[in-house]
Amino acid sequence: MQYYYGNQMPLRVLDEAEFWKHQEEEHTVVIRELVGNLEQEYIEALKEWEKAFAAAHHRVIRYIETVNRSNGYVSQALYQDILQLISFCLQQSEEFITFCRTMMAESEPISTNPTAQVVLNHIIVESEYFIGVAQTILYQQ
């Protein structure tokens, strides 16, 4: 985590989202590379997830830049936009967790690969961590 935000919630939660959306984007590649014989439907779905995480990551970066340019002033409208974006990011992570669990349950190459199972469980824990951290930051306000 970067510490350019002081105690300002908008930058702090955006900073977390920026880091974790990039991580989740990379996780889609890790899964595809690790499970070489993964079913095509999951390969395609992971590519779509990668694009979705990249888009969310770029949206978060744009908001960070906007907040930084505002010299510490965050209007009510901008604050609400940030909350909506973070809500979207949390929902996205929850859906990705569900998708990962589905792959673990339904994909034979994953169910027969103990390393892939460990990695997927780790990926799930990391997305759950982001959700928990972001919610903690939001509820401290």
Q: Retrieve residue 104's tokens.
A: 């673990």
Beta strands in 18-125 (DSSP E): none
pLDDT digits over 11-52, tens only? Answer: 899 999 999 999 999 999 999 999 989 999 999 999 999 999
Q: How far apart are CA 74 and CA 103, in angstroms?
A: 41
pLDDT digits over 49-94, tens only? Answer: 999 999 999 999 999 999 999 887 889 999 999 999 999 999 999 9
Phi and psi torsions of 75, nearest 5°: -65, 165
Do 135 and 115 touch, CB atoms closer than 8 A?
A: no
State the residue for tokens 């990249």: 54
Cα 74–chain centre separation = 24
